[in-house]
Amino acid sequence: MNELAAATAESLDVEAVRAQFPILARTVNGRPLLFLDSAASSQKPRRVVEELRRFYYEDYANIHRGVYELSQRASQLHDQARRAVQRFLGARDWREIVFVRSTTEAINLVAWSFLRPRLRPGDEILVTEMEHHANIVPWQIVAGERDARVVVVPVTDAGELDLDALRRMLGPRTRLLAVTWVSNVLGTVNPVAEIAALARARGVPVLVDAAQAAPHLPVDVAALGCDFLAFSAHKMYGPTGVGVLWARLEHLEAMPPWQGGGDMIDRVSFAGTTFADPPFRFEAGTPDIAGIVALREAVAFVEALGRARIAAYEAALVARLEARLGEIPGVRVLGRPARRASAVAFTVDGVHHQDLGTMLDLEGVCIRTGHHCAMPLHARFGLAGSARASVAVYNTREEIERFADILARTIALLRG
């Protein structure tokens, strides 16, 4: 970390941040909650929960339908959330922001509406060995329908993408490259701008899965140079049930709808229906209006802290976490990437990760155990699963030390 980053990291008042998360004050099994599973879903700050409540109590109505004041007010708040997300991502145009249910739905939308119509037998979709199942299975489904193939960029022993292999694998049949920005298991931060430049130089569109990046790193789609980017509100201090797909407007304009219903049409008759312009064409039916409105507060929460500051603060936590894990006998940290964000996965010699998770729960510690929806990555390391600790901006240095102490004790106990 350079000096500037260190200075910014120190300037984050973590106790003031924690005070915004009431759940962090609770105990679990009689112990103070030590929440290290934010990669699965983050906790929620007061301003997000209060906005949900306020919206339902004061401004709630369905959007884009009523001529009455309340519906117009709800529609306005929904529009403002879209513009907040547009600014947050550095998008050129609000029409490039599509509200969906989750990262999973965003990727499925691209698979069905963008890729499927242009996929021919023998075509290839490039993914990587470190993808979450959400960035594998939708491509397999459309590939299966079209006799196309999913081709996999390997991961090195260090837990990084093999960029030489990626270069070689970008071929004349590659129709899309789908890559995660941050691995939800290893925490590896991939050089997605460099990867997008490589792919686009060969005319290959790029989808970036930013589910694990949006809460931790500055995001600027113009600087990234990708074609599609997806993230989920619930991992970024926002509500469940809301996700965002950003796509270049020219793609959205050329894409057919993938779900039909209310709100996505221009005119409907039994002779034929015409569709609305993006983003509405992709937003059939009543969305999670309150969730979208409250997402704006999650965005404001992150922006108020500053994304560079969050990244610097968390980088110091992750470095300490990795160092402490490395000192515990029997613990093996997966990968050694040059840059990690939030997540560190590990195994313990002679101890099953499930047993470890159960024992840690008794100490008030929440970590994730299992395959973390990344079975192929675990297979790559010869594992069925692992334990994963992941941090967010509300975790403290003291919590990392306490976690490592509890973990060392628990392992000693389990290994007898």
Which residues in this chain contact ligand PMP in the complex, by CB under 6 A?
Answer: 102-104, 132, 134-135, 180, 184, 209, 211-212, 232, 373
Residues linked to residue 31 through DSSP beta bridges, in sequence order: 28
Closest approach of ligand PMP to the CB of residue 20, in Å? 22
226: annotated active-site residue:
no
Amino acid at site 192: V
Sign of the alpha-carbon dihedral angle for 294, 80, 180, 134: positive
Element (H, E) at 165: helix 163-169
Closest approach of ligand PMP to the CB of residue 58, in Å? 28
- Quick one: 232 or 410, whose CB is closer to ligand PMP? 232
Which residue in the list 130, 373, 374, 404 is annotated as catalytic?
373
Cβ atoms of residues 367 and 36 within 8 Å: yes
- Quick one: 290 or 328, whose CB is closer to ligand PMP? 290
Q: What angle do CA 304, 306, 309 make, to 5 degrees?
A: 140
Closest approach of ligand PMP to the CB of residue 154, in Å? 18
- Quick one: 114 or 404, whose CB is closer to ligand PMP? 114
**CA dist 17 → 181, 301, 304 (Å):** 26, 10, 11
The two structure tokens encoding residue 329: 């006998």
Residue-wise DSSP of 347-399: EETTB-HHHHHHHHHTTTEE-EEE-TT-HHHHHHTT-S-EEEEE--TT--HHH
- Quick one: 180 or 410, whose CB is closer to ligand PMP? 180
Closest approach of ligand PMP to the CB of residue 135, in Å? 6
Residue 283: φ, ψ to 5°: -125, 60
- Quick one: 78 or 101, whose CB is closer to ligand PMP? 101
CA 361 to chain centre: 25
| Exposed / middle / buried, residue 209 (Cβ in 10 Å: 0-12, 13-18, 19+) | buried
Closest approach of ligand PMP to the CB of residue 109, in Å? 12
- Quick one: 130 or 360, whose CB is closer to ligand PMP? 130
Number of Cβ within a 10 Å radius of residue 49 = 16
Cβ atoms of residues 179 and 211 within 8 Å: no
Cβ atoms of residues 96 and 249 within 8 Å: yes
Closest approach of ligand PMP to the CB of residue 196, in Å? 17
- Quick one: 182 or 404, whose CB is closer to ligand PMP? 182
Residue 344: φ, ψ to 5°: -130, 125
Positions annotated as catalytic residues are: 373
